Every structure is written in structure tokens, then in C-alpha cells.
């Protein structure tokens, strides 16, 4: 216990008291959260009173929060540092409750939301089962063939089939060959447009591109009467979205000349 506490205090500025867990001196665990965490720990407690990290991560996964969630990066960093040797997995760790509370401190708001079951999909296990059933039913359909009007699409085998989803709260589920890389093609325009709106706002984005249908084919490079692409979801608008990202969001990725 002492070694765990010393490591946490020195390595990440985490301090522990009998009343709360603090990071950088700011209290992050009130009485309500403390009660939720204590109840949750009871589900993960081993016979010797320590907390099984593996059981804890499994409980989080039931709510759709996976251990490789970027929001849990600091927690996983601390857990990896607490491993007595590199051969041991994080899931095999058994920690004293107070030490584990310190590990959770930087992610306590997210974790408490899971403990309260207040994510957008409350019954995520049931939801995942429904998705898995749909996946299995659709897997039986082997008709059709990969599109070949774009060379990159023709290279993919028809046996590739997977589903991956992520809710607005970051709950994730995947089944099948969901990790097989594939080409996004035109759907990438939705993503680049969303990035532009998120990073630059509607006013800036629509100074440079419209939001009305053009009435032309998707790949026609055409501008409206204001010399702007008609909308972000056709090729001309998609090019403008990429230009905005390279010019104003991530200029470190390349050079773009905008007229």
C-alpha cells in the first residue's frame, strides 16, 4: 500500500486523504461520487479486500467504456506504472481501495457517469446484443459483389463484414471484421465538414462554401453565384473542407493555397 501511495503522489501529483482524492490540490470526489465508487468497488473486491482491476474494467465495458478509450489514457498510464513487472497485464493488478481511487481521480467524472448508468444508452449490453443479432442475420446474405466503378473498391473481398459503433457518450461496440481497413471515398466529406464546423464554427466555414444543392453531378467542380462550392457534401465542397483543415486547423500537415 505504501509503495502504491508513494508512486501516485510523486509521479502524477495525486494526493490521498481520508476524506477525498485530489489532483493538484483540487477535490474531485464528493460524497455522492464517493458512495457510487464504494458501491462499485464492492463488485470488484477480492477476498483480501483489494480491488481487481480486471473486474473493474469488465464492469466499465458493460457500459460501453473500453480500456483503450482516449479519455482513460491517464488512468491506464498509472495502472501500467503500478505493474510490478512488464509480464503482468493491467487486468491482473489488485490494488488497495484508496490507491485505486487515486488512479481514478483524473477520470472520476466519466467513471461516475458510468456508475450512475446515465449514458445515452442505458442498457448497453442489451443494445449490443441487438446489434450482434442484426450482424449475424445480415451475415447470411452473400448476394451481390463489391462495387468496381472505383478501382480501390474492387480490391475488397465480399466476405469482409463488420460493424462498429460509437455513441455520443463514447460507448463503443464492434463485431466481425470491424478492424479491417477500407476506403471511405465520398463519406469522408461528411467527416471533414464536421471537423470544420467543430473547429472553426459555421460562420467561418460558410464564408467559403454554401449549403444548398447544386442540381449537378457529385463530381462536377462547380461554384455558385458567390464563387463558393454549393455545399460541403459534393466533391468541390469536400475539397474546400480539406483546404480549410490544412489551412486553419492543422497547417502542420501540409501547405494549401486558397484564393
Q: Which among 119, 125, 98 is positioned nearest to 37, based on CA atoms?
A: 98
On the question of pLDDT at 173 being above 60, the answer is yes
Please give the angle made by the CA atoms of 218, 223 and 227, to the nearest 5 degrees. 155
Q: What is the pLDDT of residues 72-125, one digit of tens each?
A: 999 999 999 999 888 899 999 999 988 888 888 878 889 889 888 899 999 999
**What pLDDT does residue 69 have?**
96
This prediction's pTM:
0.74
Which are the contacts of 159, defined by CB distance < 8 A and separation ≥ 6? none
Domains of the chain, first to last: 2-115 (1.10.238.210), 124-176 (no CATH), 185-253 (no CATH)
Q: What is the pLDDT of residues 195-220, one digit of tens each?
A: 999 999 999 999 999 998 888 888 88
φ, ψ for residue 237, nearest 5 deg: -70, -35
Identify the burial level of 113 via C-beta atoms within 10 angstroms of its C-beta, where 0-12 means exposed, 13-18 middle and 19 or more buried. Answer: middle
Q: What is the mean predicted confidence (pLDDT) over 215-243?
A: 89
**What pLDDT does residue 87 have?**
84
Q: What is the mean predicted confidence (pLDDT) over 122-137?
A: 96
On the question of pLDDT at 14 being above 80, the answer is no
**What pLDDT does residue 230 have?**
92
**What pLDDT does residue 43 have?**
84
**What pLDDT does residue 147 have?**
86
Grid cell listed for 204: 467561418
Amino acid at each position: 500500500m505504501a509503495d502504491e501511495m508513494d508512486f501516485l503522489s510523486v509521479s502524477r501529483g495525486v494526493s490521498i486523504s481520508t476524506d477525498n482524492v485530489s489532483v493538484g490540490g483540487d477535490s474531485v470526489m464528493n460524497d455522492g461520487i464517493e458512495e457510487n465508487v464504494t458501491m462499485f468497488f464492492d463488485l470488484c473486491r477480492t477476498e483480501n479486500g483489494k480491488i481487481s482491476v480486471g473486474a473493474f474494467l469488465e464492469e466499465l465495458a458493460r457500459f460501453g467504456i473500453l480500456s483503450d478509450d482516449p479519455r482513460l489514457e491517464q488512468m491506464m498510464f498509472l495502472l501500467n506504472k503500478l505493474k510490478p513487472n512488464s509480464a503482468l497485464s493491467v487486468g491482473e493488478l489488485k490494488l488497495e481501495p484508496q490507491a485505486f481511487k487515486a488512479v481514478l481521480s483524473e477520470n472520476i467524472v466519466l467513471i461516475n457517469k458510468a456508475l450512475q448508468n446515465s449514458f445515452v444508452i442505458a442498457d448497453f449490453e442489451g443494445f449490443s446484443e441487438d446489434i450482434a443479432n442484426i450482424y449475424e442475420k445480415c451475415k447470411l446474405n452473400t448476394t451481390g459483389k463489391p462495387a468496381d466503378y472505383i478501382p480501390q473498391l474492387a480490391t475488397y473481398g465480399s466476405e469482409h463484414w463488420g460493424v462498429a459503433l460509437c455513441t455520443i457518450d463514447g460507448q463503443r461496440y464492434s463485431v466481425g471484421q470491424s478492424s479491417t481497413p477500407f476506403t471511405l471515398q465520398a463519406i469522408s466529406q461528411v467527416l471533414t465538414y464536421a471537423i470544420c464546423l467543430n473547429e472553426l464554427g459555421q460562420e467561418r466555414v460558410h464564408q467559403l462554401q454554401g449549403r444548398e444543392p447544386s442540381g449537378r453531378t457529385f463530381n462536377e467542380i462547380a461554384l455558385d453565384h458567390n464563387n463558393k462550392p454549393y455545399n460541403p457534401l459534393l466533391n468541390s465542397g469536400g475539397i474546400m473542407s480539406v483546404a480549410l483543415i490544412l489551412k486553419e486547423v492543422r497547417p502542420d500537415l501540409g501547405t494549401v493555397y486558397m484564393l
